[in-house]
Amino acid sequence: MVGISAIGIYLPAYRLSREVIAQQTGGPSLGGERTVANYDEDAITMGVEASLECMDNYEHAWGIPLNGEILKGLVFTSTSSPYLEKQAASIMSSVLEVNHSALVTDLSGSLRGGLTAVEVGNKILKESSPEAKVLVVASERRMAEPGSNEEQAFGDGAAALLLGNENVLATIEAHYVVNANFPHFWRRENDPYVHAGDTRFVENYGYLPLMSDAIHSLLKKVSLSPNEIEKLIVYAPNSRLAQQLSRRLGFNPKTQLADTLFNEIGDTGTVQVFLSLISVLAKVRPGNKLVVAGYGDGAEAILLEVTQDIRRIEKCRGLEDYLNRKRALTSYAKYLHFRDITAESSYDAFSSLPLLWREEKQNLGLYGVKCKKCGIIHFPRRRVCDKCGTKDEMEDFKLCRKGHIYTYTNDYVYLNPDPPETLAAIDMIGGGRFFGQVTDINPQDVHIDLEVELSFRKLHDGQGLPNYFWKARPAMGRK
Amino acid sequence: MAGLLKEQIAIIGVGCTKFGENFTQSWADLAVEAAFEACADAKVDMKELDAAWAGSFRPWISGERNTGSPLAEALGFVYKPITLVSNICATGLDTLRNACLAIASGMYDIVLAIGIEKMRDAGPRSLSLTNRTDFHPLIGKGRTAPSFFAACANRYFHEYGIGRKTLAKVAVKNHHNGALNPKAHIQREITVEDVLNSPWVAEPLSILDSTTNSDGAAAAIVTRADLAKSFRPDYILVKGMGLSVSTERNIFDPEFNFLSFKPGQVAAQMAYKQAGIVYPRKEIDVAEVHDCFTITEIIDYEDLGFAKRGEGWKLIEEGVTTLEGELPVNTDGGLKAFGHPIGATGLRMIYEVVKQLQEKAGKRQVKNARLGLAHTLGGPGALAAVVVLGRPD
């Protein structure tokens, strides 16, 4: 039976207190804090992070390396992809080296996309070989108008679920969908910010009836009552609404309702229900039944049953790890800069479509070469070895994403929305050297021998393209 | 034998503009001043020159083409062979090298080597920020000259246990020399505290650890040694020239230690071999080395064989390289105080070494200088040029 084989989270390091936003924009604070993507992050970069994390987690949980070749599908869902025309998933599939004949697609437009993506994965896997896998990734960096309720409510982040027919932590037992034309949140082609409908109206005539319908119908389909469900995991734009829904359906909000993580993270759109699910999976027991429901243009719900293998999730990097690595963003002005509201966070630099295309294996796949004659590892790739002079006698060498800083600096001249710019030469584990920017780091924390890992980021917007590459960031470690 | 000059080459005239933020002067104005001063010094008419080499790293940032034509236009030196040379910070010395090789070939009798850089028509950070907008869109993006040498300094501190105070003493020394030099960009003494308290450029390097963004030009008139005697008795011989070019992707090389620059060592060995130098520390009387940042001068000492590996800092602490020291270095203020118009720097060094060897260096004159050296380093220690000059007597 199809189920969830591994989970992956990515939360940006920065947190912005809602009190700080309220002080700057007037009006009441919604309390708590929200996640904020760094200036070099977007839905694609965070999606890559969560995907890599998910694949690493699978390897740690099951002791089996996971190769992108085994993926039969990669479904990326977001309402805030940096591209309106062009797939985000294809960029991710290059980084992850997904099988070229896999079903790779974006699901955009609806906050319900995560649940739909799981159903797509479920259908693919039912027709695939037992070892096949599908990666479902949700990622958001939604834009809210300064001073709006959504500016405080929204959060940025990503989550990935690896689905499979075997080696599963929880199985997908049932699915139910209710379609409806109901604009609760929307954003038109030229709108910079998300619009939200009148709260009383959209909650009472959209969210509550549609979600109730989907969840109620799902339970009816499998002949279960709310008291047989361990946790109800729902998308909700605020905590109060989730509690209201829970009561309306006959669930106990105190014991059965999963945290929507509004206080620590915020409304992460398509991502939120996955994050809530992942935090629940860390605490459940075999045999527990879970209802997971997404909302947007209707509602969609699935029933999960936890398997005997659930304890393997302890080997995965979980929500706590990401909640703990936070850095406070104390400046609202910096937040506006990061999001291109008061100034451009990115810039135009030389770039070239043919160049990026030629070098994709190196720049997205992190492939250098190793000289067959003298053994030196070259990254970037070169045809002629500068050590021994041998021509075209190189074999591919994929850089490990972990390493230690050999030397570094904090540069105050280079223009960067989050100065100073930390740079480092990094000796990668297994060989090869990387030289580049270090992100998500306090300048006083960088030092020789610091353990770092490479993180997928946007360097700039040269040639009208998001120019993606790797930066380093302090290693998060693993339990 | 390969690596040696067949003909003896001589410099018979030098010229140098005041370096600084010369907002009233164009690229062409700088070229005119340096070239005509060199011709006057050599007592030759511009029209007598057979050919010219123009060194300019980025002529286009002041609106000039990257060809020989801007020099023809500036000097009215038309229908003659002119070649543009561009090799980042080694541009000036490489320009001289090409001029010397042309003389050695026997094709020309008297030629001009001139380096010109007009930096300040572009913004104050234009050089550093070039790395942001130009070149490979991804590989090494974010590296600037300060950040590279700062990374070297942090590693040097880690390996050899010195700190910012030692680096600051390089700046103090070079500012002292610059204060004695009417052509220097910065003619002001500073203290160690000034350096330590000045704002960061790239940790651990502050503004006063760093060179300036200057305009300037410098020139030399080059001929065969047998012809030189007819121009002046105190001509100066080019005794050795080395140029070593490597890759800027050294920053990705797992074997690169950020503590020494092989091109500097190789270029020095080439020049020393031609000049017959075996013990550079003892034989060289005055040296101009590439001090784009304070740390660079210390590493240069080691690369040039003035000190053992890891002991370059001792020359600063012991005062060996002051004006009164055993081996005075950067007597004109260096890049640090004289300024660093990229393409002009190597020829500015030649100007100073020639003046020192001719005992015309005024307040900065060192005693009894007979053999002098100029050294420039480009990119992330990716290329270097070394020239050794000597008195004919």
Lowest-confidence segment of A67-76, A145-154, A339-348, B321-330 by average pLDDT: A339-348
> Does residue B39 carry a catalytic annotation?
no
For A27-81, what is each residue's pLDDT tens digit? 899 999 999 999 999 999 999 999 999 999 999 999 999 999 999 999 999 999 9
CATH number at residue A449: 2.40.50
Q: What is the 3-state secondary structure (H, E, C) of chain B?
A: CCCCCCCCEEEEEEEECCCECCCCCCHHHHHHHHHHHHHHHHCCCHHHCCEEEEECCCHHHHCCCCCCHHHHHHHCCCCCCEEEECECECHHHHHHHHHHHHHHHCCCCEEEEEEEECCCCCCCCHHHHHHHHCCCCCCCCCCCHHHHHHHHHHHHHHHHCCCHHHHHHHHHHHHHHHCCCCCCCCCCCCCHHHHHHCCEEECCEEHHHECCCCEEEEEEEEEEHHHHCCCCCCCEEEEEEEEEECCHHHHHCCCCCCCCCHHHHHHHHHHHHHHCCCCHHHHCCEEECCCCEHHHHHHHHHHCCCCCCCCHHHHHHCCCCCCCCCCCECCCCHHHHHCCCHHHHHHHHHHHHHHHHCCCCHHHCCCCCCEEEEEEEECCCCEEEEEEEECCC
Q: What is the mean pLDDT of residues A215-239?
A: 98
pLDDT band at B36 (very low <50, low <70, confident <90, very high): very high
A412–B contact, CB cutoff 8 A: yes
Residue of A nearest to B258 (CA): A407
Does residue B78 form part of some domain? Answer: yes
Chain position carrying tokens 């080694």: B90
- B39, B89, B100, B152: which is the annotated catalytic residue? B89
Q: Which of B139, B150, B151 sits opposite A380 (nearest CB)?
A: B139
Q: How many folded domains does chain A comprise?
A: 3
Task: Assess B295–A contact: CB distance below 8 Å, yes or no.
Answer: no
- List the single residue in A407, A408, A435 with the smallest CB-CB distance to B252: A435
Best of B127, B129, B138 to disrupt the A interface (most A CBs within 10 Å) is B138
Q: Which domain holds residue A281?
A: 3-338
pTM of the predicted protein model: 0.96
Tens of pLDDT, residue by residue over A211-221, are: 999 999 999 99
Domain that holds residue B90: 9-123+214-224
Shared domain for A234 and A317, answered yes or no, is yes
Pair (A381, A422) in one structural domain: no
Q: List the structure tokens of B267.
A: 């270029």
Q: Mark whether B100 is an active-site residue.
A: no
B203: chain A residues, CB-CB within 8 Å: 409-410, 412, 420, 443
CATH number of the CATH domain containing A218: 3.40.47.10
* Chain B residues close to A379, C-beta within 8 Å: 252
Structural domains in chain B (count) = 1
Q: What is the pLDDT of residue A422?
A: 98
Quick one: average pLDDT of A256-272?
98
Q: Does B182 touch chain A (CB under 8 A)?
A: no
Contact A413 B146 (CB under 8 A): yes
Is B113 among the domain residues? yes
Specify the pLDDT at position A352: 96
B203 reaches A (C-beta below 8 A) = yes
Instruction: Tell whether A52 and A175 lie within a shared domain.
Output: yes
Q: Do B202 and A356 touch (CB under 8 A)?
A: no
A360 in a structural domain: no
- Residues A80-128: tens digit of each pLDDT: 999 999 999 999 999 999 999 999 999 999 999 999 999 999 999 999 9
CB contact under 8 A, B254 and A349: no
Query: Which chain A residues are within 8 Å of B146, Cβ to Cβ?
Result: 409, 411, 413
Asked which of A134-143, A207-216, A330-339, A342-351 is least confident by mean pLDDT, the reply is A342-351
A315 and A414 part of one domain: no
Q: Please, which residues have CB within 8 angstroms of residue A134's CB and are 6 or more apart in sequence? A: A71, A72, A73, A74, A75, A120, A121, A124, A125, A162, A163, A164
- Looking up residue B42, the CATH number of its domain turns out to be 3.40.47.10
| Structure confidence at residue B4 as a pLDDT band (50, 70, 90) | confident
**A44 within domain boundaries:** yes
Integer Cα distance of B174 and B170 in angstroms: 6
Mean per-residue pLDDT, A184-212? 97
Question: Model ipTM?
Answer: 0.96
**B353 in any annotated domain:** no
Output DSSP code: residue A286.
Answer: T
- Tens digit of pLDDT for each residue in A407-429? 999 999 888 899 999 999 999 99
The answer as to whether A344 is a domain residue is no
Q: Are A390 and A406 in the same domain?
A: no
Predicted local confidence at residue B129, as pLDDT: 78
For residues A137 and A169, membership in a common domain is answered with: yes
Identify the weakest region by mean pLDDT among A175-184, B41-50, B118-127, B313-322: B118-127
Mean pLDDT of B15-34: 98
Q: How far is B294 from chain A (nearest CA, A)?
A: 15
A357 touches chain B (CB under 8 A): no
CB pair distance less than 8 Å for A349 and B252: no
Whether B151 and chain A come into contact, CB under 8 Å, resolves to yes
B159 interface with A at CB cutoff 8 Å: no
